[in-house]
Amino acid sequence: MTLDEKLRLVFGFSDRALTDIVSVPDDIVPPDLKTYVVSHIVKGSAGFVPGVPRLGIPDQTQTDASIGVRNSFIPSTALPSSLATAASFDPEIPRAGGAMIGAEARATGHNTMLSGGVNLVREPRSGRNFEYAGEDPLLAGIMVGALINGIQSNHIVSTIKHFAINDQETERTSLDVTISAEAMRQSDLLAFELAIELGKPGSVMCSYNLINGRWACENDYLLNKVLKHDWGFKGFVMSDWGAIHSAAEAANDGLDEFTDFCCATDKSRFEPKILKAALASGTISQNRLDDMAERILWALFAKGAVDNPLKTGPIDYAADAAISQKAAEESLVLLKNDGNLLPLGRVKSIAVIGGNADKGVLAGGGSSDVTPVGGAILINKRTYLPSAPLEALKRELPRAKVAFDAGIDTASAAAVAARSEVAIVFVTQYDSEGYDGSLELQDNQDALVAAVAKANPKTIVVIESGGAVFMPWVSQVPAILEAFYPGIRGGAAIARILTGKDDPSGHLPVSFPASPGQLAHFDLPGLGLPNETPAHITYEEGAAIGYKWYDAKSYTPLFAFGHGLSYTQFGLSGLSNHLDGGALRVSFSIRNVGKRTGKGVAQVYVAPADWRTAGWEAPRRLGAFAKADLKPGQRKAIELTIDPRLLATYEAAGNNWHIRAGSYRLMLGEASDAQMQSVDVVLPDKVWSAATASN
């Protein structure tokens, strides 16, 4: 490859370049490159990196994101939010979803998806939690690994993001995060490590924030030492959109591809002219540039994008919507069901209230906000996907009289509820990239639920939210269904779960705090200040995120991690363990002891005899999980392996994982706060290098 060809591969354009690139001086982007970009870019997509036709190297056509192809000109099938999908506790769900959205990406001319958000839900208010897979590194790593695996089965590249510790949106481009290496490795980085091992993404997107004083995209520790050296990552690192602040430092600290160049006003430092000057002055070596190009080429070849050129084609949207609906049906979490109010059987009259349930289901905002098949319904600038729960409920309950009230006026909603046998209140909480939300429901929705519950004791609340919310009315309603953002067939899935056509089998991938006092950080640094104001946060809680924080503090959450009810009951029994060549294996069986077919989720937690002396961040960690689909009376034997990193602590001094000799307890239950059966095991001391790639 010539120097110019290599430089072409590392410099990406935003789709805004389509109109704005003409204003860019020719010495920054030469005229032939401008012409190429404008004639090859996919209109409305996220990014574009020109290929090298002379060598058969394809353009990189990049599209967001984890719930589907995002392009304002191309309709696509929206999956439930990634957080919802994580609630399925079944990696086959994100794998199937990934295969589906990856196929839509390919069919619409994209060979790179910016998909695989795996930042941990450290800050329950973060506006992007819905794009991630929860608070636990094992669950998040497995689910996101499976999503990437599905996407890349289409011979395209998937991009895990946002590397790393981009755990709040407030001042995301100027926040400096202080966190120890130990805490990172045992939390957010472990989620990335697992997802990368399982999903083998072609690329990693570094984030906007700083970590311990260094920008994420210019971070020798994260990019060179951890990702490329210790984990042996062979693919390339692309910047989040425009997230670089230098040329030579970024390149030397591990960035391989810059993104989002568009116009004359851009502050890009990665354009060919600047990189040539850096090569000439020796601030970037020829080897480094070759490595950057090689990594990009490796990803395109290894993931099949070179050998399987894009061919746009028709999409079976009905089949794809069915995949999304199945994902939603597996992901909705039944939080409460007093007196078995649900499923709704032969109900004569229902009041459906609020949440725009007559129009559709809410979706999250920002770069993952797809243009759905059937068209987005925009209400207060928020996207609702065209799958109205009201209509779906009428379909599932043809004999019931169904009345709708928009829920704007609490008195009128209460009156409608009082006249009906059952009331279903839909509440929504909008979250979006770029800002952090509140855990309190907005627009008087708490008062609405309270008023309806007072008018009708048989009130069911359905929540469409990015993540956790507070529920001051929790004890006033008998039934609560958490639907998160349930995707393009969300309304249908909600109706099928409420009416028992499907068994609810989602379990919470995040804890729901009971009050603001339970949050690890009361204040969000930088909140209310102009964008890009320098801000700082110290993650003193370290790796004690979510239920680990609650356990360490002895807090009782509103709803615990792993919680989720079913219409049937399961029995777990026969817990035992054995060491198999050093690997800790756990066996047990799960049986459907109820009267309906359903899916049980078994969760194994691991705990040292004394977590403080063992150096753990918290008393216990999720060690393994499994989901089983069982008919009444049916039983399944399950054997799971506990990943040794979940029994260890990371020791920065020697760059090692270390399991300390001693007694460990394995606990089996259906939620982190459920009754557990347990068995103890004595483990020998074990130390091994965290540089798995060199093992």
Q: Which of residues 65-94 bind ligand BGC (CB under 6 A)?
A: 65
Residue 241 lies near ligand BGC (rule: CB under 6 A): yes
Residue 240 lies near ligand BGC (rule: CB under 6 A): yes
Name which of 372 and 542 has its Cβ closer to ligand BGC: 372
The first and second tokens of residue 438, run together, are: 């509140």
Q: Which of residues 411-430 bind ligand BGC (CB under 6 A)?
A: none
What is the closest distance, in whole angstroms, from the C-beta atom of residue 47 to ligand BGC in the complex? 6
Residue 110 lies near ligand BGC (rule: CB under 6 A): no
What is the closest distance, in whole angstroms, from the C-beta atom of residue 139 to ligand BGC in the complex? 21
What is the closest distance, in whole angstroms, from the C-beta atom of residue 367 to ligand BGC in the complex? 4
What is the closest distance, in whole angstroms, from the C-beta atom of residue 206 to ligand BGC in the complex? 11
Name which of 161 and 660 has its Cβ closer to ligand BGC: 161
Whole-number Å distance between alpha carbons of 59 and 49: 6
Name which of 65 and 99 has its Cβ closer to ligand BGC: 65
DSSP classification of residue 59: P
Q: Which of 114, 195, 414, 560 binds ligand BGC (CB under 6 A)?
A: 114
Q: Which residues pair with 284 in a beta bridge?
A: none
DSSP sequence for 455-483: H-SSEEEEEEESS----TTGGG-SEEEE-
* Residue found under tokens 């309304």: 491
Name which of 82 and 603 has its Cβ closer to ligand BGC: 82
DSSP classification of residue 169: -
What is the closest distance, in whole angstroms, from the C-beta atom of residue 486 to ligand BGC in the complex? 21
Name which of 76 and 367 has its Cβ closer to ligand BGC: 367
CA-to-CA separations, 265 to 23, 173, 203, in angstroms, rounded: 9, 18, 28
Name which of 15 and 541 has its Cβ closer to ligand BGC: 15
Residue 438: count of CB within 10 angstroms of its CB: 12
What is the closest distance, in whole angstroms, from the C-beta atom of residue 110 to ligand BGC in the complex? 12
Give the x-and-dash track for 151-190 against ligand BGC (CB under 6 A). Answer: ----------x-----------------------------
What is the closest distance, in whole angstroms, from the C-beta atom of residue 614 to ligand BGC in the complex? 37
Closest CA to 531 of 208, 170, 168: 170
- Note whether 212 and 166 are within 8 A (CB): no
* Secondary structure of residue 291 in the 3-state scheme: helix
Q: Is the torsion defined by CA of 474, 475, 477, 481 positive or negative?
A: positive
> How crowded is the C-beta side of 29, counted as CA atoms within 13 Å?
27
Name which of 65 and 452 has its Cβ closer to ligand BGC: 65
What is the closest distance, in whole angstroms, from the C-beta atom of residue 231 to ligand BGC in the complex? 21
Closest CA to 403 of 444, 452, 438, 341: 452
Name which of 114 and 468 has its Cβ closer to ligand BGC: 114
Give the x-and-dash track for 328-367 against ligand BGC (CB under 6 A). Answer: ---------------------------------------x
Whole-number Å distance between alpha carbons of 374 and 386: 7
Closest CA to 475 of 454, 504, 498, 448: 454
What angle, 0 to 180 degrees and rounded to 10, lies between the N-to-C axes of helices 137-152 and 92-107?
40
Name which of 193 and 260 has its Cβ closer to ligand BGC: 260
Closest CA to 605 of 661, 539, 561: 561
What is the closest distance, in whole angstroms, from the C-beta atom of residue 377 to ligand BGC in the complex? 22
Fill in the amino acid letter for 315: I
Whole-number Å distance between alpha carbons of 548 and 606: 12
What is the closest distance, in whole angstroms, from the C-beta atom of residue 205 to ligand BGC in the complex? 6
Q: How many residues make contact with ligand BGC (CB under 6 A)?
A: 8
Number of H helices, E strands in the chain: 17, 31
Name which of 367 and 429 has its Cβ closer to ligand BGC: 367
- Note whether 372 and 80 are within 8 A (CB): no
Name which of 114 and 315 has its Cβ closer to ligand BGC: 114
What is the closest distance, in whole angstroms, from the C-beta atom of residue 66 to ligand BGC in the complex? 9
Kind and range of the H or E run holding 250: helix 248-252
What is the closest distance, in whole angstroms, from the C-beta atom of residue 433 to ligand BGC in the complex? 6
Ordered alpha helix ranges (H), 303-435: 317-331, 389-396, 410-418
Name which of 71 and 387 has its Cβ closer to ligand BGC: 71
Backbone angles phi, psi at 415, to 5 degrees: -65, -45
* β-strands 333-337, 479-482 pairing: antiparallel
For residue 225, give every residue at least 6 positions away whose Cβ sits within 8 Å of its Cβ, in sequence order, or none. none
What is the closest distance, in whole angstroms, from the C-beta atom of residue 211 to ligand BGC in the complex? 16
Whole-number Å distance between alpha carbons of 660 and 679: 18
Name which of 64 and 176 has its Cβ closer to ligand BGC: 64
Whole-number Å distance between alpha carbons of 336 and 227: 42
The first and second tokens of residue 611, run together, are: 């977590």
Cα 28 → chain centroid: 37
Name which of 65 and 370 has its Cβ closer to ligand BGC: 65
Give the x-and-dash track for 45-64 against ligand BGC (CB under 6 A). Answer: -x-----------------x
What is the closest distance, in whole angstroms, from the C-beta atom of residue 503 to ligand BGC in the complex? 34
CA-to-CA separations, 214 to 164, 218, 253, 434, in angstroms, rounded: 11, 7, 10, 21
Give the x-and-dash track for 516-545 against ligand BGC (CB under 6 A). Answer: ------------------------------
Binding interface with ligand BGC (CB under 6 A): 46, 64-65, 114, 161, 240-241, 367
